[in-house]
């Protein structure tokens, strides 16, 4: 990004950037649900010949803007004309997992509960499949004011398949960080908002001290 | 890690570290399948009062050593005695996805095909569930000399559920990097080894130029 002449992003993420990173650059910042307009302006900037960076939080490929930029380049027939590169980052699921201990040491499914772009029935089907096949489940966009009941419904599906430990991380590695681990039946969905990420353990996940631990299976094979 | 007095890790990962990072530190490097002995030595070192870092490649929480260290601390009753912190990293799935384009823009499942610590029947059940619920699927440890047939079997399960694009990344961001995208029915499992990661798209994933694109759903809702 240091080489970019133009930096494009959601206002909330642009505000997270140190001011020296943005010094001397054109900044295009827009609000929530402005994703399409924002990415189109980024493509316009690149078309005009300027090195342009689109910023996401976490990893730009996980529910981030990498896909939308690529889709716009494809739709407009610009795939060979504009050079496009995705720089990987630490996804929110890994930041949250690190704070919780080691919940992702076995197979996991990442599911967004936002039904803005995905029908709720598809989301439910994925939660059911992940619960039945005993995946650890990471829930992005777990709850908003508009969607206050869906998290409880999602956790109800998992609870029918198994008892489990559950971890909640809010604002991972940011101001206002909160981290908590408890049993699924003691979990209060009301404590969750859009700045949170929820990780539900698989049937082997246990609480170790104040951490969440999904064993990989060494204890069954070796003497620890 | 810069503050650690002792650095512990698999020989192959220790070799990736710049020598200045290791200068003046005790280094404990052991080979493959030496995970338990390695992590126990790390715990011994911490018990002796030395700041100790255990290194993994990618993110230490995703099939990495974070879980095993925490498990050993738990088994030995050291959870409150030894301070334990996990530092998140860029997981291999995100590094590979970035090189492939944007395959992870929708819900995805991460599955290891290694049956060293997990029964193959459990792995198959997870592949079937992820395929049926139309997850993008990232396959870790896709193929070794000993396990040469399982990747073909896994991809066969997905193929019965859907046609799909598939991406193969070998040695992401390392020397010898290889990146390729093709249709699932044209994919050759023989090209895959243990240094590779395979990402199978969902039913919406398409090939855009030489990239892999899983649309988030903007095109259905907005005019791109």
Strands (E), chain B: 6-10, 26-30, 52-55, 101-102, 108-112, 136-140, 165-170, 178-183, 196-200, 206-208, 211-213
Q: Which residue has the tokens 């598939």?
A: B166
In the stretch 44-63 of chain A, residues with CB closer than 8 A to chain B read 59-63
Q: Which residue has the tokens 């569930």?
A: B129
**pLDDT above 70 for A14:** yes
pLDDT per position as a tens digit, A89-119: 999 999 999 999 999 999 999 999 999 899 9
At A2, the pLDDT band (50, 70, 90 cuts) reads low
At A203, the pLDDT band (50, 70, 90 cuts) reads very high
B99 vs A219 pLDDT, higher one:
B99
Interface-testing mutation among B37, B57, B67, with chain A (most A C-beta atoms within 10 A): B67
What's the mean pLDDT when you consider all of chain A?
A: 94
Q: Give the per-residue pLDDT at B1.
A: 60
Q: Give the per-residue pLDDT at B27.
A: 96
> Does residue B37 sit at the A interface (CB-CB below 8 Å)?
no
pLDDT per position as a tens digit, A129-185: 999 999 999 999 999 888 889 999 999 999 888 878 999 999 999 999 999 999 999
In terms of CA atoms, which chain B residue is nearest residue A98? B86
Q: How would you label A11-47 residue by residue, b for 16+ Cβ within 10 Å and e otherwise?
A: eebbeebeeeeeeebeebbeeeeebbebbbbbbebbe
Query: Does A220 sit within 8 Å of B36, measured CB to CB?
Result: no
**pLDDT above 90 for A33:** no
Tokens of B156: 């066969």
Measured between alpha carbons, how far is B129 from B107 in angstroms, rounded to an integer?
13
> Does residue B106 sit at the A interface (CB-CB below 8 Å)?
yes
The string of DSSP letters for A87-117 reads -----HHHHHHHHHEETTSS-EEEEE---SS
Query: Does A88 sit within 8 Å of B89, measured CB to CB?
Result: no
Supply the DSSP symbol for B91: -
Q: Give the per-residue pLDDT at B126.
A: 97
Q: Give the per-residue pLDDT at A164.
A: 83
A66 contact residues in B (CB cutoff 8 A): 98, 101-102, 105
Contacts of A144 (CB under 8 A, 6+ apart): A114, A193, A194
> Does residue A87 sit at the B interface (CB-CB below 8 Å)?
yes
Interface-testing mutation among B109, B207, B219, with chain A (most A C-beta atoms within 10 A): B109
How would you list the strands of the sheet with B26-30, edge to edge?
B26-30, B6-10, B52-55
**pLDDT above 90 for A210:** yes
Query: Does A125 sit within 8 Å of B130, measured CB to CB?
Result: no
**pLDDT above 80 for A1:** no
Tokens of B147: 């396990």
Q: Give the per-residue pLDDT at B31.
A: 86
Supply the DSSP symbol for A17: S
Q: Which among A109, A116, A129 has CB closest to B132?
A: A129
**pLDDT above 90 for A220:** no
Per-residue pLDDT of chain B (224 residues; tens, 9 = 90+): 668 999 999 999 999 999 999 999 999 999 887 899 999 999 999 999 999 999 999 999 999 999 999 999 999 999 999 999 999 999 999 999 999 999 999 999 999 999 989 999 999 999 999 999 999 999 999 998 888 899 999 999 999 888 789 999 999 999 999 999 999 999 999 999 989 999 999 999 999 999 999 999 888 888 87
Q: Which among B67, B130, B217 has CB closest to A117?
A: B217
> Does residue B64 sit at the A interface (CB-CB below 8 Å)?
yes
Measured between alpha carbons, how far is A137 from A198 in angstroms, rounded to an integer?
8
Measured between alpha carbons, how far is A41 from A28 in angstroms, rounded to an integer?
8
Q: Give the per-residue pLDDT at B86.
A: 98
Express the helix, strand and coil content of chain A in percent, nearest 5 each.
Answer: 35, 20, 45
Contacts of A170 (CB under 8 A, 6+ apart): A176, A177, A178, A179, A192, A193, A195, A196, A197
Q: How far is B7 from chain A (nearest CA, A)?
A: 19
Interface-testing mutation among B86, B100, B207, with chain A (most A C-beta atoms within 10 A): B86
Query: Does A108 sit within 8 Å of B213, measured CB to CB?
Result: no
């Amino acid at each position: 990004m240091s080489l970019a002449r133009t930096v494009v992003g959601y206002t909330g993420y642009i505000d997270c950037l140190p001011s020296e990173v943005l010094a001397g650059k054109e900044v295009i910042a827009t609000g929530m649900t402005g994703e399409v307009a924002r990415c189109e302006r980024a493509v316009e900037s690149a078309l005009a010949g300027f090195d342009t960076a689109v910023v996401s939080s976490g990893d730009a490929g996980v529910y981030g803007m990498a896909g939308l930029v690529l889709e716009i380049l494809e739709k407009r027939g610009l795939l060979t004309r504009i050079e496009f590169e995705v720089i990987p980052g630490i996804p929110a699921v890994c930041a949250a997992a690190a704070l919780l201990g080691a919940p992702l040491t076995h197979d996991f499914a990442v599911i967004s509960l936002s039904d803005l772009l995905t029908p709720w029935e598809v989301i439910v089907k994925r939660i059911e499949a992940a619960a039945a096949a005993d995946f650890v489940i990471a829930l992005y966009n777990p709850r908003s004011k508009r969607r206050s009941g869906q998290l409880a419904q999602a956790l109800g599906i998992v609870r029918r398949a198994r008892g489990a430990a559950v971890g909640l991380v809010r604002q991972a590695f940011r101001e206002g960080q909160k981290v908590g681990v408890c049993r699924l039946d003691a979990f209060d969905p009301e404590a969750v908002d859009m700045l949170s990420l929820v990780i539900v353990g698989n049937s082997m996940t246990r609480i170790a001290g104040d951490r969440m631990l999904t064993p990989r299976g060494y204890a069954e094979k070796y003497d620890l």
